[in-house]
Amino acid sequence: MRRREVYRRIFAYLKPHLGLFLLTIFSALIVVAGQILAPFFAGKAVDCIVGAGEVDYAGLKSYLIALGAVSVAAMAFQWTLGAANNRIAFRVLAAVRRDAFRKIEKVPLKYIDDRPYGDVANTVVADAETFSDGLLLGFTQLFTGVLTIAGVLVVMFVIRWEIALIVVVITPLSLFVARFIAKRTYRTFRQQVKARADTTAFVDEMIGNLKVVKAFCREEENEALFERHNELLRKASLRSIFFSSTTNPTTRFVNSLVYAAVTFSGGLFAISTAGAFTVGYLTSFLQYANQYTKPFNEISEVVAEFQNALACAGRLFEMIDEEEEPKEGEETLGRAEGEVSLKDVAFSYTPERELIKGFNLEVPAGSRVAIVGPTGCGKTTLVNLLMRFYDVQEGEIRVDGKEIRTLKRDSLRENFGMVLQDTWLKTATVRENLTMGRPDCTEEEMVEAAKAAKAHAMIERLPQGYDTVVGDEGVLSAGQKQLLCIARVMLCRPPMLILDEATSNIDTRTERIVQEAFAELMRGRTCFVVAHRLSTIQTADLILVMKDGKIVERGKHSELLARGGFYSELYYAQFAR
């Protein structure tokens, strides 16, 4: 994203905080005015001390009181400036993160599937933090610095335009250096942000799958891969820090030249003008020279953070601008009867690899349909299409005669209950996990669902029973988590079910018990059962045998075995004759 567009988006986020923004500007003006007046009163106080026995005590007292007053006012408004600016920064940060998180919930699943989870998380958390710290919190130094430079320059021209002109002539050298370095730091910081995101994603992937890494003895290979990522990040960080760190010492050197020029020329004017340019004026001028050059140092320090913040902001806005899921329909489904039809459906994840083509299926309400086939044949893809996690590219899918793309997604998904092979529990109590789909259910209904899923006894053995905090890791085994996921669906009792290898992590004995519970749950409901273990689907009303995205056989278990076709091959591959 181009920097001009990044600036425009930042101003859009600042707009709701216009009142605080104006307070920040007003406070900055008072602070700068106080900083400019202080050297003036200090110089006047110096001129009140002519020599031994020649001190204007009345004038000295009044100037010192004025100096104290402006210093206290500047300090008070400096606090107001910081407080208002911080409030703006953290509110904008919260708004950007909120928009980014909402976008994650609205983008097509393809966006998440195509990216490492660590990269997405790094953008929402780390990049947003860097954006806030470097860009918004740096506003204090940037804005007050610019005001100070402008104000001091005006005062210096009023006091002695010749000396001020010397300062102005030397200043462009500092600006040229800062601009030269800023152009290069923006590019290097973008490279650094990219390298950091890649490293974070790799570490996240390795930590999440450490058991697999250890099982296959891949520690050394992963160390080598990490070293590559780490080396790219080191080089990118070194380049960005090198360019950004050269700004400050270079501008300090230019500022020293300014101070030396003011001292030399001011001393000459004080000697040659016979009182027109006093020692007090020279004292004030030297302080103004410091005040004039100091913002350049501060701004140069902020430049690096500023460029880093722009790079991070660009990544955030690119995420926020990602294309959302296709617009959903306005029609609601209500509680479905469960009649499902697919007509001439075609879908592929990538254009070059065709997956499903010309798929047709009619499922009467209340039917139990099993989907079997080798890995990669499109079984889970069919589930994704039914739930509108992905939309068909050709053809149509209807539920109770209504094309699902004309329905609101929530309306459609509320009618499906899903139990997947990959279980997921949020970090919360067992109770909160079970009632995720029905937070208003009674205690009795929740316990009844747990008993039906054969999970109640297991839950009772946990340290705090239904109030035990569980999550996606630790506490529970894979089989126990799957029982909770089954109970969660049983509590909702939707009119249609999708079971994608729902008992894959359960032992054979428990599986038989859960199958009985499923049989009760599936009675009168339309069910889609994706299974590899063919022993679990022999009672299905219809078995669809898929291969290469197409239905190659369909029928009941006994009919398919009698044909001696592809299903028969799959079956006898699992069970000896």
Would residue 330 count as lying in a domain?
no
Question: Which residues, at least 6 apart from 206, have a Cβ–Cβ distance to it below 8 Å?
Answer: 213, 222, 226
Would residue 325 count as lying in a domain?
no
Of 519, 127, 523, nearest in space to 318 by CA: 127
Same domain, 315 and 344: no
Same domain, 443 and 308: no
> What distances in angstroms separate CA 439 from CA 107, 275, 372, 430, 436, one per listed residue?
26, 85, 34, 13, 6
Same domain, 297 and 345: no
Is pLDDT above 90 for 396? yes
> What distances in angstroms separate CA 474 from CA 425, 469, 510, one per listed residue?
11, 10, 21
Of 316, 280, 319, nearest in space to 114 by CA: 319
Which DSSP category does 99 fall into? H
Dump pLDDT digits (tens) for 415-462. 988 888 777 888 889 999 999 888 889 999 999 989 888 889 989 999
Tokens of 239: 């380049």
Of 572, 513, 552, nearest in space to 372 by CA: 552
Same domain, 167 and 314: yes
Separation between Cα atoms, residue 457 and residue 452, nearest integer Å: 11
Same domain, 391 and 283: no
Q: Which of 41-50, 143-152, 205-214 has the highest mean pLDDT?
A: 143-152
Question: Which residues, at least 6 apart from 113, have a Cβ–Cβ distance to it below 8 Å?
Answer: none
- Residue whose tokens read 């909770």: 484
Is pLDDT above 80 for 105? yes
Q: pLDDT averaged over the chain?
A: 82
Number of domains in the chain: 2
Helix (H) or strand (E) holding 50: strand 49-51
Backbone angles phi, psi at 175, to 5 degrees: -65, -40
Is pLDDT above 80 for 126? yes
Same domain, 195 and 50: yes
More confident residue, 569 or 511: 569
Same domain, 213 and 346: no
Q: Are 496 and 526 in contact (CB under 8 A)?
A: yes
Q: Are 505 and 479 in contact (CB under 8 A)?
A: yes
Q: For 307-411, where are the E strands, in sequence order?
A: 340-347, 356-363, 368-372, 394-399, 402-403
Q: What angle do CA 164, 167, 169 make, to 5 degrees?
A: 110
Same domain, 315 and 369: no
Q: Are 396 and 403 in contact (CB under 8 A)?
A: yes
Is pLDDT above 60 for 79? yes
Dump pLDDT digits (tens) for 327-366. 777 888 888 888 999 999 988 888 777 788 888 889 999 8
Q: Return the number of other C-beta atoms located less than 10 Å from residue 508's C-beta.
A: 9
What's the pLDDT score for residue 178? 67
Is pLDDT above 80 for 244? no
Would residue 70 count as lying in a domain?
yes
Is pLDDT above 80 for 222? yes
Dump pLDDT digits (tens) for 469-517. 887 666 787 778 888 888 888 888 888 988 887 776 667 776 776 677 6
Q: Are 406 and 412 in contact (CB under 8 A)?
A: no
Same domain, 17 and 124: yes
**Among 292, 320, 348, residue at a domain's last position:** 320
Would residue 326 count as lying in a domain?
no
pLDDT band at 194 (very low <50, low <70, confident <90, very high): confident
Is pTM beyond 0.85? Reply is no
Q: Strand 550-555 relative to strand 340-347: parallel, antiparallel, unpaired?
A: unpaired
**Among 288, 320, 352, residue at a domain's last position:** 320
Same domain, 118 and 251: yes
Would residue 327 count as lying in a domain?
no
| Residue 306 lies in domain | 3-320
- Specify which residues 554 forms β-bridges with: 544
Q: Are 255 and 296 in contact (CB under 8 A)?
A: yes
- Length of the chain equals 577
CATH assignment at residue 546 = 3.40.50.300
What's the pLDDT score for residue 147? 84
Would residue 199 count as lying in a domain?
yes
Would residue 335 count as lying in a domain?
no
Would residue 484 count as lying in a domain?
yes
CATH assignment at residue 126 = 1.20.1560.10
Q: Are 134 and 141 in contact (CB under 8 A)?
A: no
What's the pLDDT score for residue 576? 53
Same domain, 351 and 438: yes
Same domain, 135 and 253: yes
